[in-house]
Structure 1
Amino acid sequence: MAMQTKSTTTVILDGSRLTIEEVVDIATGRRRASLGPSEAFRQRIDAGAQFLDRLLLEDGVVYGVTTGYGDSCTVQIPSDLIAELPHHLYTYHGIGAGRLFTPEETRAILVARLNSLCQGVSGVSWELLVQLEQLLVHDVLPLIPSEGSVGASGDLTPLSYVAAVLCGEREVWYQGAKTSAAEALKAIGLKPLRLRPKEALALMNGTSVMTGLACIAWLRAQSLERLSTRLTACNVWASDGNAHHFDEKLFQAKPHAGPQLAARRIREDLMSEKPARNELRLQDRYSLRCAPHVIGVLGDALPFLRQLIENELNSANDNPLIDPEGERVLHGGHFYGGHIALAMDTLKNAVANLADLMDRQLALLVDQRYNHGLPSNLSGSTGPRAAINHGLKALQISVSAWTAEALKQTMPASVFSRSTECHNQDKVSMGTIAARDALRVLELTEQVAAGMLIAARQALELRLRISELPLPAPLRNFLDELSRAIPLVVEDRALDRELQELIHGLRTGRWEVYSA
């Protein structure tokens, strides 16, 4: 569960714009995170904390600093108890459940929270930013339960585990083992923090869990969008399909950029800029003929979803915000995760459609009625032994099951707002649930894609046995890669281990195609 590789470059966090790729690079260990070194940046952070200090000396009223939280905002906190309030906030929110976020997900969450606080309007101290940065530097990862956030008033419960760890409480994953936060902080030379007024609220009252997860989900979706395009090209050729369906002139007539790009990639994979029409079969079934239109929906959505995710990533999203220059405390609702909820509900829908597309393509490939001369179930066995061998029959069943589960997950989470916390949080985003749903749909769709890699390897080679046409060079190279990873299925064998290796390869960049 340690980071995959040692980082070679550093991402500077100083309030300047951060990208999805930078977050995921830090989350996967390809790059390091570091606070910006400029004195102006530090002064901007310190100014907010200093203004809050002055305000408290003047008996100013600030939500969550001199008042209780949520519907308790009318409760005035005695001045001698103000210092204890932040610790009560993360303590009573220690009620998470469900699976723990993975190390990669946890790093993404930490980066997203740190970047939000680096905007300089949350009223936190420089020492807090350093403590948060050091968790990333030394890979001290809070153990955060994934369930318990409604995605407005921020990811309060999951982020309480981050706040608690900074103060030396609860548990972390450090150097390959679960240990107490206090021991891990001591090991890296840090003392537990005593949070200043507003700091627990600044840590917890934000959208960083859903946003960190969204960054991971976006990149995984982009990989699936590209791979499903390559697999479609494989399936068209393997099923003796009609390449004319991807004609450039045809796609100029419907100017959606996503389908146009998918069609161009398939055309190039098939090396068929001017394909000859298949006189025996003018039109293939929709899962082949309309594949660019299905894949292209996700392709067109991704730039829009990037904008939503990166705007949230680069926002100050706690409440209240502190304006030290104007000497104002701004009470609002930036913790509301509606944009991430929309992004993740949209993403999971488009990704599940890729699973459905690939499932339908596989159903055609394994069925002798529709695969135009390939053996039943893509079995590589011949002669008398063919009678007892079943090829990819079970793979097709599993792919169908994964697809069905992915489709079942596509109900939008954002429409299930619940009134909580004595009707103070009476309209909430459900963005974190949407992000978790999206990751589950991605997981299932990656399993479908891994199954399709096995099927593509099988179908391409079996078509080569009976085809008079050479396999186009891009697909020939792809088949060579597949052949090194997956032996042809001749005699029935369990495929689960190979499937898991392919799934791992998908998630670590082994099967990346179309770099641009």
Structure 2
Amino acid sequence: MSPKQVIVGRRIDLEEVHRVARLRAKAVLNEHAEAALSHTRGLLEASLADGSTIYGVNTGFGALSETRIPPEKLAQLQRNLLRSHAVGVGPAFAEDVVRALMMLRAHTLALGASGVRPLLPQRLLALLDAGIVPLVPRQGSVGASGDLAPLAHLALAVIGEGEVWLHGDRMPADRALARVGLEPIELAPKEGLSLINGTQVTTAVTALAIHDARELLMAADIIGAISLDAMLGSVRICDPRIHAGKPHPGQRRSAELIAELIADSPLNRSHANCGRVQDAYSLRCMPQVHGAARAALQYVADAVEIELNSFTDNPLVLLREPSDDPEDPGFDVLSGGNFHAGTVALPADHASAALTTLATISERRLDRFCAPESSRGLPAFLSNDPGLESGFMMAQVTAAALASECKTLSTPACVDTIPTSAGKEDHVSMGPIAARKLGAVVANLARVLAIEAAVAARAVDLREHPSSERLMAVHAAIRRHLGPFEGDRSLSAELEALAGAIVRGELREAAGLAAEGSQPS
């Protein structure tokens, strides 16, 4: 069954971005948006007719904002803006990112403060529905005044320029439009600026990354629970009295989940009287470390959802409170800074750091299974014949490499700024860089967790008793993508498949748990 359609121009959330970007849900315009857009467009045109000077509408841009443009050249001004700003470089964004980008740009325009015609968001949604995916290079935006370069590449498709993908074929935009029965748009005053002035690249990349990160957070608790049980660790670390004394909601949630998953485990009961007092930090401190990451992701998700539903254009056409003055036009065209992506850049960097802690603690847990000194009776590297076989030796090395890369990627981008536009834009966010780094950390973490899952599943196979019913269901879900160890073999393809399954929520579903976004934080 196809996913339910998503309505833009009214509040949207992270799950809806995911549905349009990846599940190809249809995005449609809010039924009230057309009238609201026509109203604010009429106000803007009336202001122009009265001779007002409005930035980006009848002036140049950035450092050229004091240059007045004559009326007969306003359409050319908008075309020139898109052409001159489409200077992105490097690899193109993946299709899901561009689909999210098209949806979010249509959404922010449809909120009604940009002063564009209804035709503009309608056309973006028509391109999306037709399967046209503009070719948008990843590099070239500093995150203010908006994600200008990548959004300009996106916007070129609207006027029939640039390159796009259509059903797997790369072609000029005008040819793709013709194939789906659409005409290029002749931009009206301000519409080129409104297509590119905003934070949607930073927000689209971050939104998709956080959607995946929520799955990985749940997976960290689930896989960590298997590791704790397979390591013959103590579930007393989840005693609610401990966490009542340090009542961070995320910490308490992780402790509850781990205890719930291990409950009634024969393997856990088998060493109830072993006399061990406490485990290594990577096991004992899971609720505290995972819980801190949970709290961080909640903060980031909240920030991104605010940004999803924000006016990010400049200038904005904003209505006033009703007045008795017959001369009061009832609106203002105001220049501000809502295009600055610092509101997402800093949270994205925070998320990268939080997820890196999950990668580093996961790598430490899986490493303990590889050494006889710490594995509590398991063979070296979990092999059948240590020495002849290397077992999971290099899997741990790969996890270490990924965790180390996450550390490097966690250096914040948002603390940097380089002035642009002849100093007019003298403080920028570097939001797209923060977002892309976050996406890389998410991908790395998925693979580290896949390696831990592989190692923990092998450790369960080597123990005399099984784990709990729910964790054995997770074990079976792991085995659907990564077979049992029967001797040395290349695990690369199986680990990649398992990482994908983790991101899709297959281990969470096997554990009988709801998605993180539907749980209280």
* TM-score (ref. length: structure 1): 0.94
Amino acid corresponding to residue 34 of structure 2 in structure 1:
R
8 Å Cα contact 1:391-1:490 kept in structure 2: no
Deviates more, 1:108-117 or 1:301-310: 301-310
Query: How far apart, in 2, do the equivalents of 1:470 and 1:202 lie?
Result: 59
The SS at the match of 2:401 is helix
Partner of 1:411: 411
The SS at the match of 2:7 is strand
- The reply on whether 1:16 has 2:20 as its aligned counterpart is no
Which one of the candidate residues 157, 173, 176 is aligned to 1:165?
157
- The reply on whether 1:322 has 2:329 as its aligned counterpart is no
8 Å Cα contact 1:319-1:332 kept in structure 2: yes
Deviates more, 1:317-326 or 1:145-154: 317-326
Query: How far apart, in 1, do the equivalents of 2:156 and 2:363 lie?
Result: 45
Amino acid corresponding to residue 512 of structure 1 in structure 2:
R
1:21 Cα shift?
0.5
1:279 Cα shift?
4.6
8 Å Cα contact 1:457-1:486 kept in structure 2: no
Partner of 2:263: 271
Give the alignment of 1:342-381 within 5 angstroms.
342-379=346-383, 381=384
8 Å Cα contact 1:111-1:212 kept in structure 2: no
- The reply on whether 1:510 has 2:514 as its aligned counterpart is no
Amino acid corresponding to residue 80 of structure 1 in structure 2:
E
Which one of the candidate residues 64, 85, 99 is aligned to 2:91?
99
1:247 Cα shift?
1.1
Partner of 1:122: 114
Query: How far apart, in 2, do the equivalents of 1:30 and 1:96 lie?
Result: 26
- The reply on whether 1:223 has 2:180 as its aligned counterpart is no
Partner of 1:32: 26
Partner of 2:389: 389
The SS at the match of 1:115 is helix
8 Å Cα contact 2:231-2:376 kept in structure 1: yes
The SS at the match of 1:141 is strand
1:30 Cα shift?
4.8
Amino acid corresponding to residue 115 of structure 2 in structure 1:
G
8 Å Cα contact 1:51-1:324 kept in structure 2: no
8 Å Cα contact 1:258-1:300 kept in structure 2: yes
Which one of the candidate residues 48, 59, 73 is aligned to 2:65?
73
Query: How far apart, in 1, do the equivalents of 2:279 and 2:316 lie?
Result: 57
Amino acid corresponding to residue 28 of structure 1 in structure 2:
R
Partner of 1:426: 426
8 Å Cα contact 2:40-2:113 kept in structure 1: yes
Partner of 1:479: 475
8 Å Cα contact 2:3-2:19 kept in structure 1: no
Partner of 1:207: 199
Amino acid corresponding to residue 481 of structure 1 in structure 2:
A
8 Å Cα contact 2:369-2:382 kept in structure 1: yes
Deviates more, 1:304-313 or 1:154-163: 304-313
1:498 Cα shift?
0.7
Query: How far apart, in 2, do the equivalents of 1:292 and 1:278 lie?
Result: 23
1:278 Cα shift?
5.3
Q: Pick closer, same or farther for the CA change 1:238–1:192 going to 2, 3 Å.
A: same
Query: How far apart, in 2, do the equivalents of 1:160 and 1:312 lie?
Result: 20
1:497 Cα shift?
1.3
1:277 Cα shift?
6.1
Deviates more, 1:168-177 or 1:49-58: 49-58
8 Å Cα contact 1:141-1:172 kept in structure 2: yes
1:246 Cα shift?
1.3
Q: Pick closer, same or farther for the CA change 1:445–1:428 going to 2, 3 Å.
A: same
1:94 Cα shift?
1.5
Amino acid corresponding to residue 109 of structure 1 in structure 2:
L
- The reply on whether 1:334 has 2:330 as its aligned counterpart is no
Query: How far apart, in 2, do the equivalents of 1:507 and 1:289 lie?
Result: 25
Amino acid corresponding to residue 48 of structure 1 in structure 2:
T
8 Å Cα contact 1:225-1:299 kept in structure 2: yes
Query: How far apart, in 2, do the equivalents of 1:183 and 1:37 lie?
Result: 31
Query: How far apart, in 2, do the equivalents of 1:251 and 1:278 lie?
Result: 24
Query: How far apart, in 2, do the equivalents of 1:74 and 1:388 lie?
Result: 75
The SS at the match of 2:183 is coil
Partner of 1:51: 43
Query: How far apart, in 2, do the equivalents of 1:278 and 1:364 lie?
Result: 22
8 Å Cα contact 1:243-1:272 kept in structure 2: no
1:137 Cα shift?
0.9
Q: Deviations over 1:233-274 (max 9, x none)?
A: 111111111111111222111101111111111111110699
Query: How far apart, in 2, do the equivalents of 1:412 and 1:278 lie?
Result: 47
The SS at the match of 1:415 is coil
Q: Deviations over 1:268-320 (max 9, x none)?
A: 11106998865532110000000111111121122222221111110110100
1:226 Cα shift?
0.5
Q: Percent identity among equivalent residues?
A: 34
1:508 Cα shift?
3.2
8 Å Cα contact 1:7-1:32 kept in structure 2: no
Query: How far apart, in 2, do the equivalents of 1:97 and 1:512 lie?
Result: 38
The SS at the match of 1:476 is helix
Amino acid corresponding to residue 4 of structure 2 in structure 1:
T
Amino acid corresponding to residue 460 of structure 1 in structure 2:
V
Amino acid corresponding to residue 155 of structure 1 in structure 2:
D
- The reply on whether 1:286 has 2:273 as its aligned counterpart is no
1:373 Cα shift?
0.4
1:387 Cα shift?
3.8
The SS at the match of 2:87 is coil
* TM-score (ref. length: structure 2): 0.93
Amino acid corresponding to residue 407 of structure 2 in structure 1:
L
Which runs of 5 or more residues in structure 1 are unaligned? 1-5
Query: How far apart, in 1, do the equivalents of 2:273 and 2:25 lie?
Result: 50
Query: How far apart, in 2, do the equivalents of 1:217 and 1:470 lie?
Result: 35
C-alpha RMSD over aligned residues = 1.7
